[in-house]
Amino acid sequence: MRELILGGSRSGKSALAERRAADSGLAVTYIATARAGDPEMAARIAHHRARRPGHWSLVEEPLQLAAVLERHAAPGCCLVVDCLTLWLSNLLCADRDGEEPAPQALQRLEQERDALLAALALAPGRIVLVSNEVGMGIVPLGALTRRFSDEAGRLNQAVAAACERVTLVVAGLPYPLKEPPS
């Protein structure tokens, strides 16, 4: 089963993903897409690491998410991907040209997104993906942030369509948006 957990910043989406993985009873591999580019982000990463069980496997991959899913997805295994929007940011900012992503970054984003969706369709086992819902606020001022918001919305829609379960988390409370048929 594939599940997408959406929410705003500090909504509890990662904690819910970790609970779902722990409750699955399967071997868990945590796939982290974050990069510790500054002390504040390093502290966030340390907080996430500290609350995860020590017996979970960890794979850190900021760009090639589909390849990691293809290598690690297996029957009897649960993958937690945290998070898609950080992965998107990494791709958009990989070859930035001022305020705009470079054309090669946009091409790579499209290729990696398509590869992710293909990998999700074929991956065995359980996959829990975490993503930020960024489209409920004001329209960003800069071209890069508008591009990010648009791409995040498109990515979330495509991943939600590929998942059997989609949950929105608000203030730590999960709201089911899509449930697998009973």
Dihedral, CA atoms, 118, 122, 123, 128, nearest 10 degrees?
Answer: 60
Measured between alpha carbons, how far is 164 from 142 in angstroms, rounded to an integer? 35
For the chain, the distance separating the N- and C-terminal CA atoms, rounded to the nearest angstrom, is: 13
Question: Please, which residues have CB within 8 angstroms of residue 119's CB and are 6 or more apart in sequence?
Answer: 65, 66, 67, 69, 70, 73
Residue at 157: amino acid letter: Q
The active-site residue out of 47, 48, 55, 72 is 48
Any catalytic annotation for residue 48?
A: yes
Measured between alpha carbons, how far is 172 from 13 in angstroms, rounded to an integer? 7
Beta strands at 126-132 and 77-82: parallel, antiparallel or unpaired: parallel
What is the CB neighbour count within 10 angstroms for residue 132?
A: 19
Annotated catalytic residues are: 48
